[in-house]
A and B are shown apart, each in its own frame.
Chain A
């Protein structure tokens, strides 16, 4: 199978998956007990309001028709109107998406910068002091609750030293430096447990490659240990490392919900949580689908990339 055929096949498989995801999200929100119009409007519900909302969401139509209408809208980027803010949901998501994406991207970079050296340090000399330290750090790292880490960072860094802001967001256009400063702690919070996973995997990948024949040949011919590591071990260990980095980026989209809440960042994750707490189901249904689709696409891209780099995967 050529790389392109493999990529095309994987992409085609994504279509039914996305379809299934939309069905799940739509179905789930229809399981909410009670009249959705009443639930959405809450204490502000008036007979006129309920009638207007029922009409706007076509709640009187059969469920299948409602689903197809919603799906058709979503396919065109039209998620409908948020009844509380009187704003198109699609626009609200677009406004908040850059915050979440920037946070995720920064956290990915941080996770790579922390995790990969940690794994190399450990895997380079198995069983040594550095390895044991790296193992312990990795274990503790994957066990830290990210929301607690965020609180501790605010307590120690923001409130303790006043060096970094404890929350809020400044758009890139209003000051790139301020923008970055506001994202240092959130990105770090999101990155630590992911860096630990990455470190553990990097170590395992390095240990796996080190015992291969070509590494022994390289050592036998007298190559310096540093050269062996960077020229022979790392390129071969890179494939699983890149894959896991991709998967971790996807998971950060989920973690962003918690981090955006703690650091009061106006991203899609916070929008989702606010909507859940307000029982604003039309918004929940849209943001859950958007975040879920992004998560799936990141995983898919990673998968395709993996297949393109490593011909062994395509044969499976």
Chain B
């Protein structure tokens, strides 16, 4: 399979999951929150291929609805980080010197913690909830985005065509927006895809640990935490949510790999 096809396969997975999540309430999969005691812990059947959980709720319906949270959190976090980290990296890379130091050194401090630890520490202060998870993730991501954008700007601004534009009298905003910024688009796109993958993993981990999304919101991490108590009687309660997380993360990683090769043919292989 060529790299182009890997990217395409990743895109198909991501698009399919996003579509399913978007139209989840309209899908014929039942309610994610409807409790029916007599169906509790019933195994997979044709009608309910993922089985039922301890309260008799449809695991399939909960998984599909949980994608709304997973993808929603991942997208919100990545966008927030782009909006905050992008301009910071741009200014730091273009100005260099003192401005660069003032912007980047505090961001180094954020990057000096393992991502999951920083996210847990932030959530311990913020409290729980999907929006707060997005904000915590955005804080973790901002220095990453800033570094990627800064590196692209630093590498681009010494190019001859930038000098040329400057010699022709282009103003600083025009130089940055028309000549430098487009060159940051490729690495940022790859990074955004990687951040989506990490976002899905970290949201699930935080919810699993009890510092993420609040029950009864269907979240893949929460479902795993619930299922742990029933894993012998009802292994489907832990198998399917986990596979669901992996599928989404895999989709974004494949997309990132393919994009990386497509946008930067010189660099082969992964990270």
Contact = CB atoms under 8 A, between A and B. Distances in A.
A114 to B, nearest CB: 16
A202 B201 CA distance: 24
B261 to A, nearest CB: 11
Interface stretch (A13-21, A44-52, A58-66): A13-21
Nearest to A204: B269
B258 to A, nearest CB: 11
A273 B209 contact: yes
Interface in A1-38: 16-17, 20-21, 23-25, 28-29, 31-32
Contacts of A17: 108-109, 112
B242 A28 contact: no
A261 B209 contact: yes
Interface residues of B, number: 50
A147 interface: yes
Nearest to A284: B124
Given A31-B125, A148-B245, A155-B238, A204 B270 contact: yes
Contacts of B97: none
B110 interface: yes
A197 interface: yes
B121 A284 contact: yes
* Majority secondary structure of chain B interface residues (helix, strand, loop or mixed): helix
Contacts of B231: 151, 154-155, 159
A295 B116 contact: no
B224 A28 contact: no
A23 B108 CA distance: 13
A203 B269 contact: yes
A143 B124 contact: no
Contacts of A233: none
B231 to A, nearest CB: 5
A203 to B, nearest CB: 5
A143 B112 contact: no
A24 B109 contact: yes
B210 A277 contact: yes
Interface in B96-139: 105-106, 108-110, 112-118, 120-125
B75 interface: no
Interface string A125-156: 00000001000001110111101100110110
Contact of A20 (B1, B105, B238): B105
Interface stretch (A69-77, A171-179, A213-221, A251-259): A251-259
Contact of A288 (B110, B117, B242): B117
* Majority secondary structure of chain A interface residues (helix, strand, loop or mixed): helix
Contacts of B6: 139
A228 interface: no
B270 A200 contact: yes
A292 interface: yes
Contact of B124 (A21, A258, A276): A276
Contact of A292 (B108, B113, B205, B241): B113
A51 B168 CA distance: 70
A197 B114 contact: no
Interface footprint category on A? 35 or more
B69 interface: no
Contact of B250 (A29, A132, A139, A272): A139
B211 interface: yes
B228 A197 contact: no
Which of A20, A145, A251 has most B Cβ within 10 Å?
A: A145
A143 B270 contact: no
Interface in B236-252: 238-239, 241-242, 245-246, 249-250
A140 B271 CA distance: 14
B56 interface: no
B249 A143 contact: yes
A296 interface: yes
Contact of A255 (B105, B116, B125, B241): B116
Top 8 closest pairs, chain A to chain B, by CB: A254-B114, A204-B269, A200-B270, A148-B242, A20-B109, A143-B250, A143-B249, A276-B124
8 contacts: A17-B112, A21-B109, A132-B1, A145-B245, A148-B246, A155-B232, A204-B268, A254-B117
Interface of A: 16-17, 20-21, 23-25, 28-29, 31-32, 123, 132, 138-140, 142-145, 147-148, 151-152, 154-155, 159, 197, 200-201, 203-204, 207-208, 250-251, 253-255, 257-258, 261, 272-273, 276-277, 279, 281, 284, 288, 291-292, 295-296, 299
Given A140-B246, A143-B250, A152-B242, 12 more contacts: A17-B112, A21-B109, A28-B121, A29-B125, A145-B205, A148-B246, A151-B242, A204-B268, A208-B268, A257-B120, A257-B209, A272-B120
